[in-house]
Amino acid sequence: MTQNRSGLELRSKISSLGTLELFLEEVVVPEPAPDELVIRIEAAPLNPSDIILLLGPADPSAIRQAGTVECPRAIATISPERLVGQKSRLDVALPVGNEGAGVVIKAGPDVQSLIGRTVAARGGGQGMYAQYRVLKAPDCLVLPEGASPRDGASAFINPLTVLGMVETMRREGHKALVHTAAASNVGQMLNRVCLADSIPLVNIVRSQAQTNLLRKMGARHVLDSTSPDFRPALIGALAETGATLAFDAIGGGTMAATILAAMEEVANAGSTTYSRYGSPKIDPDAAKRLRDRVAAELTTTFASHYTAEISLTEALSPDVIAAYSRLATGEKYLIVPNEKAHLSS
């Protein structure tokens, strides 16, 4: 019986005392199960999410070299307050690397035909920053002949994120998209897919340089959120494209609220009657069912309570205006147009 080969795997570990350690571990490559492939990993990208897992809350500038030339290590000290939220990973040597690609060098009896093929894969719980990985064949993407591991290294996360956005748009009945972080790798890929599939796309970026980059790719709607006319430009682009779905790749802050408010403004502008009540879509039968329920439950579920009743004349009185314009939670006034003054009587 021959000894199984071994290979290096990258590990990230944060100790409960607050030390981050990055190191390489030598691991014996297990025998593949009947449906498994042994892949020699040739290329694996450092995606932002990988870097978050790799470095944890450590300050990148605080990382220093340790270990030996044969056995290198990188370490950093993490202050106790930054350890909050890391509990689930403390003292565990985590594998890292969400995706990658390589060549099949050995395979279980059911999948022998894949030996020698180049495949891309997601690491799952295992981590692709490793010299060898054993993975189930159905979880791998067999690349076309001629495609290299470098071509396929990023075949999962960004492409499926982009196609997932487009698929979500179609399934939920939208006809155009908004994307923040539009100049990122994902953003550029989304532009190529949308151009190929004739999907209107509103790109939101954060600088003139990013605007130029996307324009050069052929993007039609590119909005710089640092520009003073960002909001009217956004409303114009939403009106022209009809976009009612947005992916905010950045998160936090007020961008989500800004986009939602602009979409609502466009939806209202498109309605034929003046309404500040948004843009519901409902068929006549469903509308009748809702109205019937309101009528039946008028004095129970849908009862309203009023702070005071006022006449038309009282509605013009400065004191009364000051009262009803406060819009205090739970307060509401009722105009009774065919009655005489109430409050002063």
Shortest distance in whole angstroms from residue 333 CB to a copy of itself: 4
Shortest distance in whole angstroms from residue 34 CB to a copy of itself: 21
Shortest distance in whole angstroms from residue 1 CB to a copy of itself: 25
Separation of CA 72 from chain center: 35
Tokens standing for residue 297:
């439950």
Q: What is the CA radius of gyration of the chain?
A: 30
Residues sharing a CB contact under 8 Å with residue 101, sequence separation 6 or more, in sequence order: 41, 42, 43, 44, 118, 119, 120, 121, 143, 149, 150, 151, 152, 153, 155
Partners of 13 in the β-ladder: 21
CB of 110 or CB of 197, closer to a copy of itself: 197
Tokens standing for residue 32:
């593949």
Instruction: Give yes or no for a contact between 251 and 262, defined as CB atoms under 8 angstroms apart.
Output: no
Residues sharing a CB contact under 8 Å with residue 228, sequence separation 6 or more, in sequence order: none
Conformation bin of residue 101: beta by default, left when phi > 0, alpha when psi is -120 to 50: beta
Instruction: Round to whole Å and give the CA distance between 58 and 74.
Output: 12
CB of 17 or CB of 286, closer to a copy of itself: 286
Shortest distance in whole angstroms from residue 201 CB to a copy of itself: 14
Shortest distance in whole angstroms from residue 300 CB to a copy of itself: 8
CB of 109 or CB of 174, closer to a copy of itself: 174
CB of 1 or CB of 178, closer to a copy of itself: 178
CB of 1 or CB of 117, closer to a copy of itself: 117
Tokens standing for residue 283:
């068929």
CB of 2 or CB of 338, closer to a copy of itself: 338
CB of 87 or CB of 326, closer to a copy of itself: 326
Tokens standing for residue 40:
């020699």
Shortest distance in whole angstroms from residue 140 CB to a copy of itself: 10
Three-state secondary structure call for residue 260: helix
Conformation bin of residue 86: beta by default, left when phi > 0, alpha when psi is -120 to 50: alpha
Shortest distance in whole angstroms from residue 78 CB to a copy of itself: 14
Instruction: Round to whole Å and give the CA distance between 137 and 121.
Output: 9
